[in-house]
Amino acid sequence: MEKNSNKTNSVRVLGEVDVLPLLQLLPELMQQWDTDAAINPNKKYSLAQVNHINFRWSNKKSDPVDYFDLPLWEKYRTILLPIMKQAVKPFGYKSGYFPRVMFAKMQPGTIIPEHIDGNTRGWIPHKIHVPMITNPDVAFTIRGVSYNFTKGTAVEVDNSGLHGVKNTGKTARIHFIFEYLDGSINKIPQNDLA
């Protein structure tokens, strides 16, 4: 399985998005961190120190990529979808969709060790990060180059290259993370077109 040819080889800045609606959700969702951790096999490996709130999850071993909605997706999709659609406008897909959607939190002093996402089917979607809360001491390293992503700036990251994150700051780092696929190539659900 080859990587999506339209996917970045490092980092692609997609533009500014309004994260205020996401930040307003956090107090309501505070009890939700990792309540559905059983679906996330990465909790045993590179993401062991990361907490998640999952809205939608995908089975990347299926062809085409299959996914399922978690209870929080239906409750919050009207808030999440406009932000996601705003972030992916630069791709210009006529029929794109989002098979995986989550919040991810790294506490101060935590590390995601450098790794390459293991399932090559996971290299097909665009992996989008939108920092909601961050600090100057968060370093996201991809292929040996370190970045400090700005709050409210959507970025695509290359998960098929060696990448990792260190939060050496005094505050948590919380990102809104989602995947995006071109529906003209992949299976597409009509209700989530972007």
- What is the structure's pLDDT at 161? 86
- What is the structure's pLDDT at 48? 65
Structure tokens at 159: 């998960």
pLDDT along the chain (194 residues), means of 10: 72 96 94 68 59 84 70 94 96 87 94 78 83 97 95 94 93 95 66 51
Angle 20-29/71-88 helices, nearest 10 degrees?
160
The HSE-up count of residue 71 (CA atoms within 13 Å, CB side) is: 4
- What is the structure's pLDDT at 1? 43
- What is the structure's pLDDT at 180? 92
Task: Look up the pTM and report it.
Answer: 0.88
Alpha helix (H) residue ranges in the chain:
20-29, 71-88
CB–CB of 97/65 below 8 Å?
Answer: no
